[in-house]
């Protein structure tokens, strides 16, 4: 009996220690934040100083330039760096806004390509919406109705992702056609609002690149895989208890 208990606890330790290692490849930063959007907001603060602090704004942008070049091509980063070097405040802010629109497009395109991966799609949509929130004040100031419609489209896009539920409980069907429709409405509105000739910039391929200290996929209780170790542990403990009771009776 003692050997069985020792084996049980050993198995539990192995399973617990193995869980984070298995999931580390699927880690993300804070799903409610987007780094390039946060940098944009910080750059605005520096550029609104009197006089504008272009040196600080440039240093901030350099923290995301490599990622921007990787995922959206080199042109946007080059244009922004030129406007910073020219100390052109209006052009810098305008180009950063266009960059954020491209980032929203990148996130939404990535969702469409990995639509059946609910956890990934939901996190990417959260990051896309976080990007839009940085643009929302300007859209609201220029065209409140468009701002309202875009936010409603994001809500509808989230609903279109559905929900796999937990063991079928709370399951909601997904609808990729509705998602595509809302994606197009969002992107068309932003393209018109920020006067972009095209959103076809760079490559929109990555869906799992956000490494960071935020929520890990293995903490998501909606993912059935994350319940397997717990089920195994409960099964083993139950078996040991049953064997112990049977031996006592005999």
Mean pLDDT of 184-212: 71
**Total domain count, the chain:** 1
**Which bin fits 203, alpha (ψ -120 to 50), beta or left (φ > 0)?**
beta
Helix, strand or coil for residue 163?
Answer: strand
In a domain, 232, yes or no: no
Residue 1 lies in a domain: no
Contact (Cβ atoms closer than 8 angstroms) between residue 200 and residue 164: no
Residue 103 CB: number of other CB atoms within 10 A?
Answer: 29
The domain containing residue 61 runs over which residues? 28-196+208-215
Q: What does the chain come to in residues? A: 250
Give the integer Cα–Cα distance in Å for 110 and 206. Answer: 7
Q: Do the Cβ atoms of 182 and 174 come closer than 8 Å?
A: no
Residue 71 belongs to a domain: yes
pLDDT of residue 240: 73
Write the CA distances from 84 to 35, 52, 72, integer angstroms.
19, 11, 19
Q: Are 100 and 134 in contact (CB under 8 A)?
A: yes
Task: Indicate whether 13 belongs to any domain.
Answer: no
Q: Tell whether 130 is covered by a domain.
A: yes
On the CB side of 212, how many CA atoms lie within 13 Å of its CA? 13
Above pLDDT 70, what percent of the chain? 69
More confident residue, 9 or 100: 100
Give residue-wise pLDDT tens across range 68-121: 999 888 999 999 999 999 999 999 999 999 999 999 999 999 999 989 899 999
* More confidently predicted of 230 and 37: 37
Higher-confidence residue: 27 or 61?
Answer: 61
Domain-embedded: residue 115: yes
Q: What whole-number distance in Å separates Cα of residue 87 and Cα of residue 82?
A: 8
Partner residues linked to 166 by β-bridges: 169
Determine the 3-state secondary structure of 187 from DSSP. helix
Q: What token pair was written down for 8? A: 């049980």
Which pLDDT band holds residue 26 (cuts at 50, 70, 90)?
very low
Buried-state track 46-71, b at ≥16 Cβ within 10 A, e below 16? bbeeeeebbeebbebbeebbebbeeb
Q: Is residue 245 part of a domain?
A: no
Under the banding of pLDDT at 50, 70 and 90, the label for residue 30 is low
Is residue 110, in this structure, part of any structural domain at all? yes
Q: What are 154's two structure tokens?
A: 């994001």
Cα angle for residues 204, 210, 212 (degrees, 5° grid): 170
Count the helix, strand and coil residues of the chain and give each as a percent rounded to the nearest 5: 75, 0, 25
Residue 174: closest CA among 162, 164, 188: 162
In sequence order, the β-bridge partners of residue 169 are 166
């Amino acid at each position: 009996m003692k050997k069985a208990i020792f084996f049980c606890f050993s198995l539990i330790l192995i399973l617990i220690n193995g869980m984070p290692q298995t999931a580390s490849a699927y880690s993300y930063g804070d799903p409610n934040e987007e780094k390039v959007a946060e940098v944009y907001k910080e750059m605005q603060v520096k550029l609104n100083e009197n006089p504008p602090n272009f040196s600080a704004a440039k240093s901030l942008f350099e923290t995301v330039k490599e990622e921007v070049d990787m995922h959206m091509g080199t042109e946007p980063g080059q244009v922004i760096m030129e406007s910073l070097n020219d100390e052109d405040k209006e052009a810098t802010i305008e180009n950063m806004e266009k960059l954020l629109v491209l980032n929203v497009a990148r996130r939404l395109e990535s969702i469409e390509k990995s639509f059946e991966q609910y956890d990934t799609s939901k996190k990417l949509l959260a990051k896309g919406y976080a990007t839009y929130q940085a643009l929302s004040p300007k859209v609201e100031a220029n065209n409140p109705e468009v701002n309202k419609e875009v936010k409603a489209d994001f809500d509808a896009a989230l609903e279109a992702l559905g929900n796999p539920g937990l063991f079928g409980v709370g399951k909601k069907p997904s609808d990729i056609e509705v998602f595509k429709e809302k994606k197009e409405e969002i992107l068309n509105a932003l393209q018109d609002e920020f006067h972009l000739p095209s959103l076809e910039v760079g490559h929109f391929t990555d869906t799992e690149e956000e490494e960071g200290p935020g929520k890990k996929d293995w903490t998501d209780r909606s993912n059935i895989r994350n319940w397997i170790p717990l089920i195994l542990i409960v099964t083993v403990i139950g078996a040991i208890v049953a064997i112990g009771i049977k031996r006592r009776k005999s």
